[in-house]
Every structure is written in structure tokens, then in C-alpha cells.
Chains A and B, each alone.
Chain A
Amino acid sequence: MTKRLVTIGNGMVGHRFLEQMAAKGADWELICFCEEPRVAYDRVNLSGYFAGKTAADLSLVAPDFYKDNNIQVHVGDKAVRIDRANKTVTSAKGVTISYDKLVLATGSYPFVPPIKGNDLPGTFVYRTICDLEATEAYAKDCKVGVVVGGGLLGLECANALQNLGLKTHVVEFMPRLMPVQVDDAGGATLRQKIEDLGIGIHTGKSTTEIVADEHGRVHKMQFADGTELLTDTIVFSAGIRPQDELARQCGLKIGDRGGIAIDDNCQTSDPDVYAIGECALYNNQIFGLVAPGYRMAEVAADRLCGNETNNFTGADMSTKLKLLGIDVASFGDAFGKTAGSKVIAIDDAIAGTYKKLVVNEDGTRLLGGILVGDATVYGTLLQLMQNQMALPPHPEDLILPHRSGVSMAMGVEQLPDTAQICSCNNVTKGQICTAIQEQELRDIGSVKSCTNAGMGCGGCVPLVTDLLKAELKKAGIAVNNNICEHFAFSRQELYSLVRSQDIHSFQQLLDRHGTGRGCEICKPLVGSILASAWNDQILDAPHVSLQDTNDAFLANIQRDGTYSVIPRIPGGEITPDKLIVLGQVAKDFGLYTKITGAQRIDLLGARVDQLPLIWQQLVAAGFESGHAYGKALRTVKSCVGSTWCRFGVQDSVSLAIEVELRYRGLRAPHKFKSAVSGCTRECAEAQSKDFGIIATEKGWNLYVCGNGGMKPQHAQLLAADLDKETLIRYVDRFLMFYIRTANRLERTATWFNKLEGGIEYLQAVIINDSLGIAEELEAEMAHQVATYACEWNATLQDPAKLQRFQHFVNTDAPDPNIVVIEERGQNRPVFEHERQLSELQLK
């Protein structure tokens, strides 16, 4: 007869145990008691609940997992008694079930310090979704919240309170934050960074009493040093205690300070009863992290399935976390307790990082360390320590900031095959490499799903990626520049196919050279190439489905699904009448207005159904599309030049307008910008543009491939003192050459940095026509200029195109989800935490 295994507790570890049993195909009848009203969920990311994650998002149980595996789960029914003599478990609802083996995964409960007033209305703990729901409901009427406990859980909880919109304080008894994981200097760095987020930190505070207001609710905290702190609610998150009550009742061996004693097999003092997770005490140690709990679940499952070789031998308490967006890692002998150990530490107050290595006496092995503010090297350091690898001659290089030309001291190749890469799911380098080779894995997603590496906290993903790259390189598999799974070509190759084979639609190209249906990578790319080559309207029927949503609706999508509208203002010159029109349109439609960085006016907050109405008014007033939505020319910025300025030497505004009108609407691998300055003072900042023009006494200097933005780069002088006709000719050639040869989403600056031969090469191609293509390039540009038509004007005249500008296909109603709030006299979209509030006000 099938033997029966009863599990008490359905937390993260309890669930992992059942998953392991199911995966091993064990011949057991599985029954589980779950005290909470919902099955296992991700307690580690609990604070995400207030950042918009739902209970369903947090669930760890695949739909129908228990049903499909024949596991009986008693949800919302707490096991209250174990009768070891008769081998039965009885629940609160009165169910009694006999067992052959029993697994306790009862977890832990939050420690609430014995302070007067710790049970007043307004005090909460932080452990379950029910706790969060209670806190959230109470916090609706609160402004200030205090977390008692500055450890790992306390800071997670502070994140949760801040997500609720409360002014948040953290009160810690010890003199620093995260006293278990970091030292004083690390605690100070962490404190600074958290205070910068607007959270109050109060360390070294011993709470003597929580005082109630006249309604008997939490009002303030009093501390031993005579100070006090006003607050509306308090959440205790000051550590955990093993939930060992059931085990005590039935006489299992319990540690002096709590915890169900287990051996290497995860067996308790009764060989028929196992204990795993935070309720278990191994070698007088409780493991309050999920990874060791998972490890115990694995050992217990193996034992129950007859595999006697898997032992629990303790666990490394190394941790890497992101708390409130701040990296914190602590591993090995973080406090340098090993005799003779030495410390290398870098406390960078400017970068806000603290990094410490603990090394052995002769500086050859890493024993542990602490990282605060930047833990990118955690994976490497952990490997060095766990595998007792020799440190490089200057171990400090491991924690010094990366500088160009200096590579990391350790490559993944040096790791032994036994090195544990993913500690959450216990996956070694050997397992990952074997899977890559045998299953011919080619991308990081398949490596993750086939090996389970990186599916826990995700901290090892960079290492797994490095492993994949190294393996592919070893196997001689060229890392190709195919744009996506649908086309085995680069962008440049596709561009030349489209031109040379006279291809005019995505379907034609796909039929001849591709496979499948296409995707969000190749469709906009081909849409852009077709536009660069033939200049058909992008919203024409065969092309509309290729366009990114910005191009598809000729406006820029914002985070709430509304759009921004930016009409063209060539050269930044605008008449008072047109300014008034923009203001009036914004008023009529309740739009938020802002001056952009490129001398234009942005009207934000337009619903998709409002876009045609807005543009009707704009087109009627003489505006045209500004192409702010496209990978196209954005703007040609200018200074007032010689028209007004006493220093100006040329008419920069007229040239800027001419240049902007010439290249408007031109689709390219990425957006591009330009500017014209009227003298060498360079007020238009032309040297930060994709192409920039600066007036000289004798004509115009042409600069190319500059960039502001993410990685600023000065433009290079391509040619000096040009007359206007030559200047335009060079710009024509330059832009078309870029469109022909750049990669997808590659700005001119990045493209230039990869050009062998640099500016001299570019000068040879553009000025001296070294490739013999100048005439072609000019002709291609001439076609573009001649076929330009305003996309908005064309759309307004075509009822079929206008049909798409509607939120619902089956009603004229707008999207009810769009909610705005007023700030500084204008509308802006609400943030998630404001949404409920404003919905209440609407009611």
C-alpha cells in the first residue's frame, strides 16, 4: 500500500519540498496542512505587494500544480496537534489524518519586543500577506509609519511602508543598520543612502513605551534616552523566532533557545518526523534565509525517496540583496574574525559605496567581505572564496571601480566545474556547461529554463551569461549579428537587399529571405528601411502593422498609455499667433505643456482618440508633424544668429529652417538631431549633435557624429568654411551613408566609433568620394526630399486610417483607466499609489 506523508506548513520551503517530491515521482500519498488562507507565495519579495504586485503575482504555485500531482492541500486549516504514539495529525477544523512520515515546515513567527503598548491598535507585524492587508487597511488614515528593526526584514518592510505613501522611519536597537550583515562603516554608507530616500533612521534607540492617543491608538514612541517619535502606525520587524510550538507539544527535541533539532538527514529526534526551513535547528543554528531552507527540502525529499547520499551539512549565510534599491552583500567571514586575517576596504563617500575584503594572513585567499551600494562583483568574489582560489597579486583591484582598459581579474573559465553558480537552486558550473553543450543552448533564456540557474534571486545571471558566451566561443560558434530569429541578416544586409531587389513590403522580404511571422525587432526595423528607401507613408495598410506604437499613432506613448504631441517648429522659430494656437489647443484638451530640450513645445496627456482632433486644429493653423515619435530627424536647433545677435556672423536661423525642412521625416537607424550656430560661441550646441553646423566668417563648418544624452561625445569637424550648396551636398551624402551602414538603433556617434579609419575615412567617403557612391547617395536623398508629405495631414484625409484612433473598437468611450491629478496648475497622470485616492474622490 502507498505510504502517507503529511507536511505541516505551505510556505516557500514547504512548497519547494512538495515540488521536489513531485519531481522525483515519489510513491507517497502527499497531504499538506496550510494555516494561511492561500498556498505558498514569495515571502522574499513581500514588499512588492505594495508596489503593485498582487497576491496572484507573488504566488509560487503553478495553477493546478497540486491537483495535477495528486497533492491534497488543506488551505486555511492549521495543524494543532501531533500524536506521535498513534502517528496522527489533527487540525483546527477537526480533521485527523494518520501519517507514516511527517515533515514539519512550520517556518517562523515575527519577534515582537516586550515593550509596553506593543499590542495597541495600529501595531502590526510583517510576515504574511494577511499582515500586509491589515497594515494597508489601517495605513489609509496614516501619514507616518515606523518600522521597529533595522535588519534585512526591517528595511524590506520600510520599503513596503514607503510604497504605501507613508513618511517612514526605521528604529533600530543596535548602533547601526543590518548589524548581522555589515560593519560600522558599511552601516554608515547604507544609512546615508537610505536617508537620501527620505526615510528617517534612528539607530541605538531602545523603545521604552508605545503611547496611545485619546482613542487608544498608536500615537508616539518613547525611547530610553528621553527622546520620542510621533507616529500613526508601527510595524515590528525585529527578527524571527522558529515556529516550534507543535514540536514542543509532542515532545520532540528542541534547542535551548527554540528550534526543532535536526541531524544531517533533516530528521528530528523522532526518525519518522523531519523538520525543514526556519523552524529547524541544525548545529545550534537557525537559517533565516530561503536558500538553506530549499537545501533542507531537497535533502528531506531525497531521504524519503530512498537516496541516502544527500546530506545537509549547514549552509553558507552569504547574502546579496537589493533593499530599497540599494545593493547590500555580505559573505563569509565578513567581520574578519579569523585569526590573522587582514582587511582591504574602500569607503567611497562620493560614489556612496563601501567595499571590504577580508583576506587570510598572507593575502592569498579571500575569506569574506561586505559590499554596500554596488554589489556587481559579488558573484566573482563569492566564487573566489568558495573555491579557495588564489587571489590576484593586487586583490584591491577586485573592488576598485572599473576603468576602461582594465579587465576583471577573474574570468569564468578559471572556475572549477564544481563551483556553485546559482546558490538559490544549487546549480554548478559543470551542470550549466554540460547543458549548454548537450542541449545546444544558444541564449540566456534557454539556459535559465533548462538548468534553473538564475531563476531564484537572479544575482548569478551575469555569471551565467559569461559562461554561455565562453562556451559558445569555445565551440567556435560565431556570435552572429542576425537581427532576430526571423532574419539571418544584419541591418545593413537587409537594407541592401531591399534596395537591390526592389522590395516594397515586409511580407515580400519575409517570403524571400526570412522565416516565421516577424517580431517587435525586425518589423520596425524593416518598416524603417522601407521608409528610408521608398518613402511610402508609414501608416499605409501594408506598413502600419510594422510600426512601433509611437509611429503607429504618430505620437509618443507615455507611461499611462496617453501620448505626447510635438508639432514641428523649424529651427525653433515660431510666430506669436502659432504660439497662441498651441496654448489654446492645450487648454481645449487639458494637456500638460512643456518646452523640450530641442526648442519645441510638447503637449502631453492626449488620449489616442483625441490625437486626430488635436491635429485637425494644428494642421488648420499651419503646423505639421514634428516626427518626435520616429527614428528620424528630430529638430534643428538654432541661435538667433546675425539677424539679432551683435556677435553673429551668419544667418543661422534661416539655415536651420532650410536644413530642418529638407530632412524632415527622413527615417534612419535611430533618431538624429542637428543644430546651427551663428558664430563660434556655439549657443546652439551644434557640436553635441549628429550633425552640427557652425558659422565662420567665410561660410560654414560641418561637424558630425556628436551626441549629448547617455554618453556625451563631441562631434568631429568633417569640413570647414563651406558654401551652403556644398554643405547641403555633404550632409546629404553623410546621412545616406549612415542610413546604409549603421546597425539597428545605433546613433551616429556609436556608428562613428566603430568606423575603421575614423574621421579621415569619413572625409574620404563624403568629400573625395573614395567609394564612388556619392552620386547614388545624393540621388537617394533627392528622392526622399521630393516625396516628403506630412504624415498627420495624410492621416486626417483618410477615414480608414482614422478608424484606428479609438481606444475601444466597440464603443466611443475613452480608456477609463487614465486618471490625472493636478500639479503646479497642470494635469499629470497619477502614480499607482495615488490612483485609489483619486478614485475615492471621484466617487
Chain B
Amino acid sequence: MSQTESIQPITKQWTTICPLDRILPNTGVCALVNDRQIAVFRVGEEEDVYAIENLDPFSKAYVLSRGIVGDHNGIPKVASPIYKQNFSLLTGECLDDLTIKLQTFAAQVVDGQVQVHG
């Protein structure tokens, strides 16, 4: 027997949330997917999109989609608008507090529509 993994109650699937041009380059939006708040970010001018939890673990407010998008040593990140902690968009890790890690979701652009796997 080894450490048991928790099982997600909802089967994940791709959900279309909005057209790509609804997300201005280098900003985020929040989408409601299966009753979860997911922050979706568009990095650069093209079709590079990332999705993480919208809940800011430090303030407990659902606001990460409103943070400033940038990079740290090339890693795309968002800074919480409340207390400015940074989160990697690739892994969900908090770059300022290694004990904190947010859930990430797969995101893609298909035919000009942004989709999230969550």
C-alpha cells in the first residue's frame, strides 16, 4: 500500500469559455467551470493561454484573474492584486512561498475559442 491519491469527483472535460479576443493580450479573465472559479490568462499577443485556480490563497478572495501578468526568469506568472504574491502559470506554485501551490488546468485555443480542461 502506498500513499493514496485523492480522486476528483467530477470527470474533467474541455469547456469553451470565450472567444480568444475577449482576453486582451497579457491579461486574465475568470471563468465558471463546473461550479469552480478558474482564472485564464493570455500571455503575449498569440494563442498562449494558461489556467489556474482563481482563489488567492493569501486573501481568500477570488481575484487572481485580475492580477498583473508577467514573467520571472522566463516563467510566466501572475501577481495577486491583493498582496502581490506571484504564482507560476505553468505549475501553480507560489514563487514567494514554496509551501503554497495552486491547482492548474489545461487550456487551449481551438478555432479562436478558449477552452479549459476542468
Interface residues of A (CB under 8 A from B): 39, 52, 57, 61, 66-67, 72-75, 77, 445, 449, 455, 485-486, 516-520, 522-524, 541, 544-549, 552-553, 557, 559-561, 608, 803-804, 807-811, 813, 815, 817, 832
Contact with A along B30-53 (1 / 0, CB 8 A): 111100010010011000000000
List 17 A–B pairs whose Cβ atoms lie within 8 Å, in order of A's numbering. Answer: A61-B3, A72-B2, A75-B3, A516-B70, A520-B84, A544-B24, A548-B68, A549-B68, A552-B66, A557-B66, A560-B59, A808-B30, A808-B37, A809-B18, A809-B29, A809-B30, A810-B18
Closest to A831 in B: B60
- DSSP majority for the A interface? loop
| Interface assignment of B109: CB less than 8 Å from any CB of chain A | no
Give CA–CA (A380, B74) in the complex, Å.
38
Given A66-B2, A520-B68, A832-B60, do A808 and B24 touch, yes or no (CB 8 Å)?
A: no
Contact A559/B82 with A803-B22, A832-B60 known, Cβ cut-off 8 Å: yes
Contact call B63/A561, Cβ cutoff below 8 A = yes
By the criterion CB–CB under 8 Å, are A449 and B98 in contact?
A: yes
Give the complex CA separation of A73 and B2 in angstroms.
5
- Docked-complex contact B17 and A810, CB < 8 angstroms: yes
A10 to chain B: closest residue by CB: B3
In whole angstroms, how far apart are the Cα atoms of A449 and B72 in the complex? 16
Q: Is the CB of B2 within 8 A of A817?
A: no
A39, A485, A548, A608: the one contacting B72 at CB < 8 Å is A485
- Residue B11 CB within 8 A of the other chain: no
Q: How far is the CA of A557 from the CA of B66 in the complex (A)?
A: 10
Interface size of B as a range: 35 or more
A544 to B17 CA separation, bound complex (whole angstroms): 22
B contact residues around A546 at 8 Å (CB): 68
Chain A residues within an 8 Å CB radius of B44: 517
Shortest C-beta distance, A558 to chain B (Å), equals 8
Contacts of A516 in B (CB 8 A): 70-71, 73-74
* A contact residues around B24 at 8 Å (CB): 541, 544-545, 804
Q: Which residues of B contact A810 (CB under 8 A)?
A: 17-18, 31-33
Q: Which residues of B contact A57 (CB under 8 A)?
A: 57, 99-100
B26 within 8 Å of A (CB atoms): yes
Q: Could you tell me if A517 and B70 are in contact, using CB atoms closer than 8 angstroms?
A: yes
Point out the residues of chain B lying under 8 angstroms from A803, CB to CB: 22
For B43, the closest partner residue in chain A by CB is A517
In the complex the two chains form, is A549's CB within 8 Å of B81's CB? yes
Question: How many angstroms between the C-alpha atoms of A504 and B29 in the bound complex?
Answer: 26
Chain B residues contacting A545 (CB-CB under 8 Å) are 24-27, 68-69
Query: Is there an interface contact between B29 and A73, defined as CB atoms closer than 8 Å?
Result: no
Q: List the A residue with the shortest CB-CB distance to B18.
A: A809
Task: Identify the closest chain B residue to A808 (Cβ).
Answer: B32
**B80 nearest CB across to chain A (Å):** 9
Which B residues touch A66, using CB under 8 A? Answer: 2-3
Chain A residues within an 8 Å CB radius of B33: 810
Separation of A75 and B86 alpha carbons in the complex (Å):
33
Q: Are A519 and B79 in contact (CB under 8 A)?
A: yes
The answer, among B18, B61, B81, B84, for a CB contact under 8 Å with A817, is B61
With contacts A57-B100, A557-B63, A809-B18 known, is A67 near B30, CB below 8 A?
Answer: no
Return B53 CB to nearest CB of chain A, in Å. Answer: 12
Task: Give the docked Cα–Cα distance between A72 and B3 (Å).
Answer: 8
Q: In the bound complex, do residue B73 and residue A485 qualify as a contact, i.e. CB atoms below 8 Å apart? A: yes
Closest B residue by C-beta to A74: B1
CA distance A815 to B63 in the complex (A): 10
Taking a contact as CB atoms under 8 Å apart, the answer to whether A809 and B98 are in contact is no
CB contact under 8 A between A817 and B68, given known A808-B31, A809-B17: no
* Extra contacts besides A57-B100, A516-B70 (16): CB < 8 Å: A52-B60, A66-B2, A517-B76, A518-B26, A520-B68, A520-B86, A548-B81, A549-B67, A559-B61, A559-B82, A807-B30, A807-B62, A808-B29, A809-B23, A810-B31, A810-B32
Assembly CA distance A77 to B57 (angstroms): 32
CA gap between A811 and B31 in the complex, in Å: 8
